[in-house]
Chain A
Amino acid sequence: MSMRLPKQAGEWISRDKTVRFTFEGQEYSGYEGDTITSALWAAGVKVLGRSFKYHRARGVLSFANHDVNVMVTDGNDTNIRGDVVALGNGMQLDAVNTDGGVLKDKNKYIDSLSPLLPVGFYYKAFHKPARLFPFWEKIIRKAAGLGVVNFNYPRITKRKLNKHCDLLVIGAGPSGLSAALAAASEGLEVVLVDENQSLGGSLTYDYAGSESSRKILEELQAKVAETANIHVYTGAYAAGYYADHMVPVVTAKGITRVRAKAVIVATGVFEQPPVFHNNDLPGVMLGSAAQRLINRYAVKPFNKGVVVTANAHGYRVALDLLNAGAKVAALVDMRAEGQRDDLVGELVRKGVKIYPASCVYEAVATSDKLGVQGAVIFPFDEATGQANPGKSVNIDCDGIAMSAGWAPAAALLYQAGTGMGYSNDIQQFVPNCLPAGVFAAGRVNGVYCLQQRANDGMRAAAEVLRYLGKRPPEVTVDKHQGPSPSHPYPFVEHPKGKNFVDFDEDIQIKDFVNAAKEGFDNIELMKRFTTVGMGPSQGKHSNMNAIRILAKIRNLPVEKIGTTTARPFFHPTPFGHLGGRSFHSHRLTSIHAWHESAGAFFVDVGAWSRPAYYQQAGKSKQQLVQEEAQAVRQTAGIIDSGTLGKIEVCGPDAALFLERFYTGKFADQKVGTTRYALLLDEAGVVVDDGIASRLADELFYLTISTSNAAAVYREMQRWLQIWQLNVGLVNVTGAYGLINVAGPAARDIVGKLVSIDLSDAAFPMGAACETEVLGVPVRLVRVGFVAHLAYEIHMPSAHGLNFWLALMEAGAGYGIRPFGTDAQRLLRLELGHHLAGYDTDGLTNPYEIGAESALAMDKPFFIGQRSLKIIGKKKVAKLLVPFVLPQEYSGEMPQDCNLVIDGAAIKGRVTSVAYSPAAKRIIGLAYVDPARNQPGMVFDIRTDNGSIVKATVVETPFFNAD
């Protein structure tokens, strides 16, 4: 039966655009502008979902995304919130978490088992005997969760924007609109955010059968539209409040990070359900939900209903129901006094029977338990909270609208650090201590009268202006008058229970009582034991009631109970929105394209991409690495080392700085030479090593390993701040390219391009100079890390490719071959050099890698020296030694990080191991028992397959270079 009403003034649907869709296999139609829920309800569909735990039939509750009764899937996406997601043409929808459809859900039997499943039942069962727990766990996991995730859902990441403004107003109800207008009229740039598709908040639905709300709204909307400095975001929610007034605003298109000088929170209130038996049946809904159905979507909530209320709002709801042509069979007011204003007279005139001091004792379910067929009304003693079964009235109805009170939508205020106190006048938590720059207005601030809500918005705007240094006029807001908009205890006990407090989690009154009996009687423990507020709607419709129940149980004022912590997000927010378009930052040298065309296999080293080796058809990686290494030993190899960190240390104190920073001496280093630079941390742990070239008296040029470059530069800056030396640091890592030519033919090849004398006498190992190559100024360094004869050419990085091509050409006749990092690691191993970070770990000290010679302990200071003085007196626990396996070894190849063991004890580990074509055997470095460090001594390595390999300590280099 269609529940669609004739056209309502202000409705949000476009009747000329029909939208066809299916739900649970049945075809329906709605209008453009409908949400999934409104279209279904209009079509007369009332069972829209099944509850999480007991699989009870559920319909509309808040119709505002304050509950998850209506969670559907379209086969592609899941956990779609029907209350607020727009209906789309061709949607094929099903309720989530059912077995066999929402009407015939096979799991509905669980409802009748509920006596077996009291609060926290899962802590008390299934664990004995322990061996059966995996069996039970499977069943429990199958029952868990809501929707089924579609593993083929596409990767969709959303753009992010940033927005800066003077004032962010969150919530565009009467208070928010007034605040935005008042602030904008004083020239502030205002961002106004509201989660609904249209501005107005309660002005878009709380009509009380009259047109006045809509008129006010139209006026306000028109003013906002003509105010250029109000930037309106609708369909946008403020997801959280973060430090410095940063509020991510979420829309379907993505997130805008709004940073405001000041924030007004005008987020209003969530209507809270009174709690009685079967208050969750489809057809039982909040009063505001009924109003939203009617006035936004032209949908009749039910044909003949009962309104149960404990405030004035229920009377307004009744008027809207009447206006929509629904019969109001009874208005049940839980308050002893009832309502005493014009609303009463109006309803009475319209023939509504009012039952003051009464309650709905239970909603009577239809025989299929899928809807309401009546309400049982009992006299209610407000003082004791007891329903009196003496004079019950049974009323037939197909729906119940509930309005017993509100909870502030104060999550953002809590996150901002607002102090909240409980107001007995309105039975609500209200802000009493706001952080600087944060303001609250309207119902979230405890102001209920419509005119005063507008005033409160203007008052908040005036405070913002004052906060920003202006002098606005004072705006006064009248104190709340009359009865409280919220009932202190709208709960009706029932022997059969099923009086729900948290609809997400199926939590009833007795669950709280029982949790408290078991000792979970403070609000945080109660939350964790009962799971109240832990569902997808995060307590929007349940936390306040939970607090009221606990206050009653403990016989304490509500204020003493406190609240649970409000954390982001206000509404659950998608991964793709939050993550956004992620960036994978990486760096390439200017020679990268050449490597690619030469078949390089790249690896990531820090942010850089480096060739590990160059692939060739039909050859294995192992074979290619060996060939590349052999080229260096026999003729020449060339490697792009442009990724190395390069830092210039210059100024009068440059040498002094290096003396403090590194372990060695630099003051007496001659211009034109290089020195080994070993960096420790304050605990004496090896951090990095590199080469310091002194290019001038006051200019050192440091190279640092690729992956440590950023960290070392940061450390240098940090220490420079501390030491306050007259030194300049320039990170030229990206500015300089670096090509290393190594091997017996290196001198001849490099010699073709440089004009200086490269002979051993003129440019020995450790020499460094600035010269010119190919008409470009370069830095030339004689190094020995991978081969005894090798040159590093440092050129402006833009020239890298030219140099590379020129060197390849110069070396063509010698058989020069490019090599990657794998061959580089092998080559340096053959020479017995350790690699910091590879052969060392987070605790290695220099004594353990035999680097004593690099420690100038006679210096007054260097980083880590004090620790070394202590460590130096202790016995070394392990020592890095070079080792070989027998030439004829053919067993399991040991791997890096295989352990060195001695019986049952771990003595160390292999840090580098490889087959050396030059040494013609397996060679490596390993940490061993210091007592076994002498050449010729043998130790045990356990390989991956558990076999023990005998390794022999040797001296380096591993091969005879001559």
Chain B
Amino acid sequence: MAYQLLKFALGREYKEPRFFRDCQTPKKSYDAVIIGGGGHGLAAAYYLAKDHGITNVAVLERGYIGGGNTGRNTTIVRSNYLTPDGVSFYDASVKLFEGLSTELDINLFYSNRGHFTLAHSESAMRTMRWRAEVNKHVGVKSRVVGTDEISRACPQLDISCSGKAPIQGALYHEPGSIARHDAVAWGYARGADSMGVEIFQNTEVQGIDVKDGRVQGVHTSRGYIATGKVLSAVAGFTPRVCKMVNLQTPIVIHPLQACVSEPMKPWLDTILVSGSLHVYVSQSSRGELVMGSSLDPYEVHSTRSTFDFVEGLTSHIVDMFPFLSNVKIVRQWAGMADITPDFAPIMGNTPVRGFYLDAGWGTWGFKATPISGKTMAYTMANDRPHELIHSFRMSRFEEYELTGEKGAASVGH
């Protein structure tokens, strides 16, 4: 038994401190205000304090921390993207994730399981090779594998998918991992709080003051806060926050749904993704299958669930794993994904001085949590974008220099 647990048995009283303070009344001003207490916002706060010594920071969260897409995703971490810039960026994130449990002193259950992107057609195999070649070039462990290797890693998988979409091969991405998503937010919150960052939950941002093209402060449900730097890290709420500073983005909001099965003894050791079948699935350390599908095909600012999502997803899962026919789905849910035209995020400075954007995270935000925090903190501290996020600058849309991640962002695009 791990020695860390002994203290609980030895101490009569439960002495664990709060993860973060229960902040209620904001100060009149802060050096920086972060809108959004999800993984990204909290990570940015953490690295602002840790890397740049900027600790006079407030994080404003409308609900509770980690309650948005941080707590709604399917927790997959990977870097097998398509563009060299994308691969380098996500690779840096994977590397931060690998050391994060130690750094934040919280067990994130960062679990390296390997990740197969299944290809059911020749054209899918071509894309896999493309991604593999770019990954290898950047130094990321991805390669195209045949069905024999897939079967070895997951003997339970019906390679023919019940005869409906025979698997031809896969992109195997060795670093592919899953993690306990909520704990990422909690760990960053604790880390940031311990260095002086103040986290306000149940605090809604109602407006942002801009004067002469510069951010002046933020109107909140807890009063006005003066600040020269505001980071928006609010995923599905990005269009609403950007409207407060009259900033137009090409982001549209689509719901992204997921569901979870009842717990069963772990048997699925890898992470499986199929673009053709619109499925991704892994098994958590609680024994539940965590499953997701592609975006809902329409714009909706809502987190409602739909029945056709779960009908389609389960039908494909049964094609892959016929023996799950009588295993049960316990719960389904949805998040609001902020989608960009090229399926890459929008990060960095904006035309509004002092207003920084960390958005466009669509279906790929969780895996970028550490690196987005780190690079956005750098960007805010220096008022110039970190070199890793150059390709994600907002101006790329007017410059026609898109970062095409459509083929690798997630399933079904």
Which chain A residues have a beta carbon within 8 Å of chain B's beta carbons?
52, 77-79, 97, 113, 115-118, 121-128, 130, 133-134, 136-137, 140-142, 144-157, 240, 242-243, 246, 248, 257, 415, 510, 513-514, 517-522, 524-525, 528-529, 535-536, 538, 565, 567-569, 572-576, 578-580, 582, 584, 603-604, 683-684, 837-838, 841-843, 867, 870-871, 874, 895-899, 901, 906, 909, 942, 944
Could you list some 29 contacts between A and B, CB below 8 A?
Answer: A52-B263, A78-B327, A124-B106, A125-B5, A130-B99, A130-B102, A133-B101, A134-B112, A144-B285, A145-B263, A147-B265, A149-B267, A153-B323, A153-B324, A154-B322, A156-B326, A240-B305, A519-B21, A525-B65, A574-B327, A574-B328, A574-B329, A575-B329, A580-B315, A584-B164, A684-B400, A841-B407, A843-B404, A944-B144
The smallest beta-carbon distance between A119 and chain B, in angstroms, is 9
Chain B residues near A896: list those with CB within 8 A. Answer: 126, 129
Per the CB 8 Å criterion, the residue count for chain B at the interface is: 97
**Cβ contact within 8 Å between B111 and A137:** yes
Which chain B residues have a beta carbon within 8 Å of chain A's beta carbons?
1-2, 4-6, 8-9, 14, 16-22, 63-67, 71, 84, 99, 101-102, 105-112, 121-123, 126-127, 129-130, 133-134, 137, 144, 156, 162, 164-165, 180, 182-183, 186, 201-202, 261-267, 284-287, 304-307, 310-311, 313-319, 322-333, 341-342, 400, 402, 404, 406-407
Chain B residues near A568: list those with CB within 8 A. Answer: 305, 307, 310, 331-332
Q: A126-B107, A517-B18, A578-B311 are in contact. List 13 more A-B contacts (CB 8 A).
A: A123-B106, A127-B107, A130-B101, A137-B109, A144-B287, A151-B267, A151-B323, A242-B307, A528-B182, A567-B332, A574-B327, A579-B317, A895-B129
**Max chain A Cβ within 10 angstroms of own Cβ: one of B8, B63, B156:** B8
**Cβ contact within 8 Å between A116 and B133:** no
A867, closest chain B residue (CB): B400
For the complex, give the distance between the alpha carbons of A126 and B133 in Å. Answer: 36
**Cβ contact within 8 Å between A248 and B307:** yes
For the complex, give the distance between the alpha carbons of A535 and B264 in Å. Answer: 12
Given A125-B5, A579-B316, residue A842 in contact with residue B14 (CB < 8 A):
no
Chain A residues near B342: list those with CB within 8 A. Answer: 842-843
**Cβ contact within 8 Å between B22 and A521:** yes
A901, closest chain B residue (CB): B137
Chain B residues near A582: list those with CB within 8 A. Answer: 164, 315-316, 318-319
The smallest beta-carbon distance between B149 and chain A, in angstroms, is 15
**Cβ contact within 8 Å between B20 and A578:** no
Question: Which residue of B1, B18, B102 is within 8 Å of A113 (Cβ)?
Answer: B1
For the complex, give the distance between the alpha carbons of A842 and B343 in Å. Answer: 11
Chain B residues near A536: list those with CB within 8 A. Answer: 262-263, 328, 330
For the complex, give the distance between the alpha carbons of A576 and B285 in Å. Answer: 24
**Max chain A Cβ within 10 angstroms of own Cβ: one of B5, B20, B102, B106:** B5
The smallest beta-carbon distance between A865 and chain B, in angstroms, is 13
The smallest beta-carbon distance between B169 and chain A, in angstroms, is 12
Given A113-B1, A121-B8, A522-B64, residue A149 in contact with residue B264 (CB < 8 A):
yes
Question: Which residue of A123, A127, A155, A901 is within 8 Å of B102 (Cβ)?
Answer: A127
**Max chain B Cβ within 10 angstroms of own Cβ: one of A128, A514, A942:** A128
A-B pairs, top 8 by smallest CB distance, nearest first, are: A145-B287, A579-B315, A155-B322, A572-B328, A576-B325, A582-B315, A897-B130, A127-B107
For the complex, give the distance between the alpha carbons of A130 and B315 in Å. Answer: 39
**Max chain B Cβ within 10 angstroms of own Cβ: one of A97, A128, A141, A240:** A141
The smallest beta-carbon distance between B339 and chain A, in angstroms, is 14
Chain B residues near A909: list those with CB within 8 A. Answer: 130, 133
Chain A residues near B102: list those with CB within 8 A. Answer: 127-128, 130
B161, closest chain A residue (CB): A584
For the complex, give the distance between the alpha carbons of A136 and B5 in Å. Answer: 13
**Cβ contact within 8 Å between B99 and A128:** no
Chain B residues near A604: list those with CB within 8 A. Answer: 121
For the complex, give the distance between the alpha carbons of A535 and B287 in Å. Answer: 11
Question: Which residue of A79, A125, A257, A513 is within 8 Å of B307 (Cβ)?
Answer: A257
Chain A residues near B186: list those with CB within 8 A. Answer: 123, 529
For the complex, give the distance between the alpha carbons of A117 and B14 in Å. Answer: 12
Chain B residues near A867: list those with CB within 8 A. Answer: 400
A838, closest chain B residue (CB): B123
Chain A residues near B6: list those with CB within 8 A. Answer: 116
The smallest beta-carbon distance between B61 and chain A, in angstroms, is 11
Chain A residues near B315: list those with CB within 8 A. Answer: 157, 578-580, 582
Question: Which residue of B2, B65, B129, B404 is within 8 Å of A136 (Cβ)?
Answer: B2
**Cβ contact within 8 Å between B311 and A580:** yes
Question: Which residue of A116, A565, A579, A906 is within 8 Å of B311 (Cβ)?
Answer: A579
B164, closest chain A residue (CB): A584
Chain B residues near A149: list those with CB within 8 A. Answer: 264-265, 267, 323-324, 327
**Cβ contact within 8 Å between A897 and B127:** yes
Chain A residues near B316: list those with CB within 8 A. Answer: 579, 582
**Cβ contact within 8 Å between B5 and A117:** yes
Question: Which residue of B319, B326, B330, B333 is within 8 Å of A77 (Cβ)?
Answer: B326
The smallest beta-carbon distance between A144 and chain B, in angstroms, is 4
A526, closest chain B residue (CB): B64
Question: Which residue of B64, B165, B286, B327 is within 8 Å of A524 (Cβ)?
Answer: B64
For the complex, give the distance between the alpha carbons of A538 and B260 in Å. Answer: 12
For the complex, give the distance between the alpha carbons of A572 and B180 in Å. Answer: 23
Chain B residues near A148: list those with CB within 8 A. Answer: 264-265
**Cβ contact within 8 Å between A519 and B19:** yes
Chain A residues near B122: list those with CB within 8 A. Answer: 603
For the complex, give the distance between the alpha carbons of A126 and B107 in Å. Answer: 7
Given A240-B307, A517-B16, A524-B67, residue A116 in contact with residue B156 (CB < 8 A):
no
The smallest beta-carbon distance between B191 and chain A, in angstroms, is 13
For the complex, give the distance between the alpha carbons of A909 and B129 in Å. Answer: 11
Chain A residues near B84: list those with CB within 8 A. Answer: 906
**Cβ contact within 8 Å between B318 and A115:** no
**Cβ contact within 8 Å between B8 and A118:** yes
For the complex, give the distance between the alpha carbons of A115 and B7 in Å. Answer: 10
Question: Which residue of B106, B317, B341 is within 8 Å of A683 (Cβ)?
Answer: B341
For the complex, give the distance between the alpha carbons of A535 and B328 in Å. Answer: 12
**Cβ contact within 8 Å between A572 and B326:** no
For the complex, give the distance between the alpha carbons of A123 and B180 in Å. Answer: 9
For the complex, give the distance between the alpha carbons of A573 and B311 in Å. Answer: 11
**Cβ contact within 8 Å between B263 and A843:** no
The smallest beta-carbon distance between B92 and chain A, in angstroms, is 18
For the complex, give the distance between the alpha carbons of A545 and B307 in Å. Answer: 30
A535, closest chain B residue (CB): B263
For the complex, give the distance between the alpha carbons of A906 and B342 in Å. Answer: 20
Chain A residues near B313: list those with CB within 8 A. Answer: 579
For the complex, give the distance between the alpha carbons of A517 and B316 in Å. Answer: 44
Given A123-B106, A145-B263, residue A569 in contact with residue B329 (CB < 8 A):
yes
Given A116-B8, A145-B265, A514-B14, residue A156 in contact with residue B325 (CB < 8 A):
yes
**Cβ contact within 8 Å between A243 and B9:** no
The smallest beta-carbon distance between B310 and chain A, in angstroms, is 5
For the complex, give the distance between the alpha carbons of A150 and B267 in Å. Answer: 10
Chain A residues near B406: list those with CB within 8 A. Answer: 842
Question: Which residue of A115, A140, A575 is within 8 Å of B327 (Cβ)?
Answer: A575
Chain B residues near A528: list those with CB within 8 A. Answer: 66, 71, 182
**Cβ contact within 8 Å between A115 and B9:** yes
The smallest beta-carbon distance between B48 and chain A, in angstroms, is 21
For the complex, give the distance between the alpha carbons of A134 and B112 in Å. Answer: 9
**Cβ contact within 8 Å between A567 and B305:** yes
B84, closest chain A residue (CB): A906
B304, closest chain A residue (CB): A243
Chain B residues near A123: list those with CB within 8 A. Answer: 106-107, 180, 183, 186
The smallest beta-carbon distance between A828 and chain B, in angstroms, is 16
Chain A residues near B110: list those with CB within 8 A. Answer: 133
Chain A residues near B63: list those with CB within 8 A. Answer: 524
Given A116-B6, A133-B101, A684-B400, residue A578 in contact with residue B310 (CB < 8 A):
yes
Chain B residues near A118: list those with CB within 8 A. Answer: 8, 14
The smallest beta-carbon distance between B103 and chain A, in angstroms, is 10
For the complex, give the distance between the alpha carbons of A514 and B8 in Å. Answer: 11
For the complex, give the distance between the alpha carbons of A521 and B201 in Å. Answer: 11
